Amino acid sequence: MKTVKKLIVGFVFIFGFTNCSTTDYSLFPDEESKLEMGRQIIEKEDSTAFSSLIFEESSQREYILDLFVYNKSGEKILVDPKEAYFKVYNEDREQINKEKYFALDPEKQISKLNEDIEDRETDHNVVTGLNIAFSLLSTIVDLADDEDNDVEEVAENVAILVDNQVNEEISYSEDKKYFENNKDFWENDVLRITELDSEESVQGILLVPIFSYAKYVKLFIPLGNTVHIYKFKQEVK
Q: pTM for this structure?
A: 0.75
What was the pLDDT predicted at 160? 66
Contacts of 62 (CB under 8 A, 6+ apart): 14, 16, 18, 104, 207, 208, 209, 210
Name the nearest CA neighbour of 11 among 163, 205, 149, 154: 205
Asked: is 15-104+190-236 a CATH 1.10.10 domain? The reply is: no
Per-10-residue mean pLDDT for the chain, 237 residues long? 42 41 84 93 97 93 96 96 96 95 95 92 81 60 54 60 76 90 94 96 96 96 96 93
Distance, first Cα to last Cα, the chain: 26
What was the pLDDT predicted at 125? 86
Taking the domains of the chain in order of start, what are their residue ranges?
15-104+190-236, 109-187
What was the pLDDT predicted at 181? 92
Decide if 198 contacts 77 (C-beta within 8 A). Answer: no
CA distance 150 to 207: 61
* Residue-wise pLDDT tens digits, 99-110: 999 999 999 999
